[in-house]
Structure 1
Amino acid sequence: MTNDPILELYKHQFAIISLETTGISPKHGDHLVELAIQTVNWNGELLDSYETLVHPGKDIEGFQIHGITDDMVKSAPSASDVVPDILSRLNGKTLVAHDLDFTVRFLEPILNGSMPKLEGICTLKLFDLVAPDSGLRRLEQLCTYYDIEFSVRHSAKSDSLATAKLFSILKNLYAQQNEIEDFVENFLHLIEIEDCPKERNIFMKRKEAKNIANIQKTKLYDLLNRLTSSAGDSVPVRQYLNVLDRALADRILEEKEIFSLVDLATVYKLSKEQVMEIHEEYLRKLIRIYLLDEILTNAEMDDLHLVSDLLCILPKELDLLIEYERTKIPITTPGVQKQLKSLTGKSVCFSGHLNCKINGQRIDRELAQQLVKERGLIVKRVVSKNVDYLITAHAEQFSSKGRKNRKAMEYHVNVMDEKIFWEMIGVVVDNE
């Protein structure tokens, strides 16, 4: 302790912890299923937030109270997995909980002697000191009493945030009624852990767990798990993506469409890992199209989440794909962005061989189509009245020779030089 109790308080941090469990007694087989820790300072400022579901190692009881199901914790970390994250957030702080005795009963078996006896601040006991005649006990009652917003009941995160606000009010009231030195002496129990492990940030939140549980219940997920574990030699990426294009056009995967995808994977002896790589590639291409203007609107994000759910791709993986694709967008100037926005939905047709190169590689027809589609334009195989641009390697030598050229002249289609076209849509090609 420092000599100045006020300075001691202002530099001190508090770990506000809340738990959800399968019952009231670990001695009688009850286990932790969710945990949240909010780190705050004396002023009540939130410095760190941690929450996770915990696999209890047994069937969950009390679903009606906390809303956590067996499906939600299937992929959640175990209690031993999150011990480093708990210890690192308790070390050097004072533990705070509503009904501290209950919290300690569940924490001590998990921490398994990793630290000395847990002491801290119980907001229930602190409230009894501040308002001894109220008769209130439950957290939600005290929150109502002090007009603290309490959005979700029996959620570790919501409870811990509410407890943090309650603690802020109660410690201020106590400090008004007593000497500040009394609070320092009676309530600051600094937890010191020798050889404290570093935080690992292993967690699974409720929303993610529900998404995983929903995906695992789908027909596609079930069938993908039945695919061979050994990867095949031939990977029909284009064929599979073409089937996906047709199946996802209406953003609904019907059972017959699911079977078509799985049948194709089975014929080519694709493993689940290979199929998921193709699914991610499909989602990446969609992300690239939506990122043409470097902005993802709410509608675009909703569509990406819908497609990722249909393809059994988790939201966390979708976020990583978006982050990765943001770094790859080759658009650098506002002029190109504006140009691309105006070109979205326009159709193009290629005539003859292409000559431009990217990093020394000649742009073949397949790459050209990919580059165009990723930038929101439509590729047409033949020239018609609905084609906006005909792209050719030598526009200055354009003549009526060839069927596409004749059609372009007949329908007054804009003929554009290949190099100018690539520049217009933001594709950087090699200088010849």
Structure 2
Amino acid sequence: MHNSSPGYAVVDLETTGLRPSRHDRIIEIGIVHLDAAGQITGEWSTLVNPGRDLGPQHVHGINAADVRHAPTFDDIAATLATLLHGRVPVAHNLPFDLGFLSYEFQRLGVVAPLRHDLGVCTMAEAVRFLPHAPRNLAGCCAVADIPLEGHHDALVDARAAAGLLRHYLALAGTAHPWHPLLATAARTSWPTLPGTGTPWVRRGVSTERDSHFLARILDRLPRVPQPVMADSYLALLDRALLDQHISAAEADALVQLAVDLGLTRTDVERLHHDYLTALAHAALADGIVTTSERRELDLVATLLGLPGESVDRALTRATREHPSMPSRFKLATGDLVVFTGEMDGGRETWEALARQAGYVPHPNITKKVRLLVAADPDTLSGKARKARAYGIPIVTPDAFNGMLL
């Protein structure tokens, strides 16, 4: 998207919270360009890696698996400066968006010429143009008959705010209220920033980019892995499957360990079959495989990229032999458990459940912590980064709840 003529830059942000002064960060930016007459001339958007947890994910719907592919604000600062240069900034709640953008630029030592008195706030202008509308974006769009599908996607919301601006311009007619702002924006200079050429990233990128982790392990000549290597891989696999889910970060760790151990894809496939057989043996310990146990076996086979008949083969094999596997992870009374991210019911509720089960909630990650419970297992929080470095399992609240039963 090019900045070839004066006009407006309609901006919307998704953030980790409401206050940059409390270390909240931008995690998605959407920008729509309009010319002076209100015609859309281009748009741009990207997720932004904030280097921390993502805050209320139930609101913005952004997951860490996508954000880990995204550029940092530093990576896109030059692009943003180009997109905003010479244009009147517009947003629904302009002080909020400009406050976050200014803060992010300040973190880079850059003073951005962003002033809300030199921009257009479509929420504030609704008092004049939509006097009976609710002030939120959805309410204004409903009254102005502007589509808003996919609310809390930054580009979707920027398009909606752009629609409101066009609606206001149409109502204003020849009495264009913001001509002076256009002239001021054209005269305003922006600092020149070095560009990194980092590509933008949209939601859903993890699904597009991440093949099954097994396919990322090189297939060399098959060989039998040494027992110590097999044990190390199986132990990590067991930790990854504590919550019956393999997060993007856990998949990366499994691939890296396989590479470090010199395991081929054939080796890893064999270990996956061994792991499934060990689970089948445990399910058969009481002489019957329940519906829930079969469901778990089928799920694990799917997560490990094994064919559909693998579970039946594992059950047959388990009746003939006793597979060996490192002891499975299990919490014990007095174990330290850390919580991170915004969870249903609040973190205090989950900490209380941990205490009732005999575990000890801990505020920070240390080498003595046994488990990290995260709202998003791919979270980018400092706690999660340290847990991964220490080899501490990370599970979802639902998985932790299952461990309490």
TM-score (norm 1): 0.47
In our comparison, the structure showing a higher alpha carbon Rg is 1
Higher relative contact order (CA 8 A, sep 6+): 2
TM-score (norm 2): 0.50
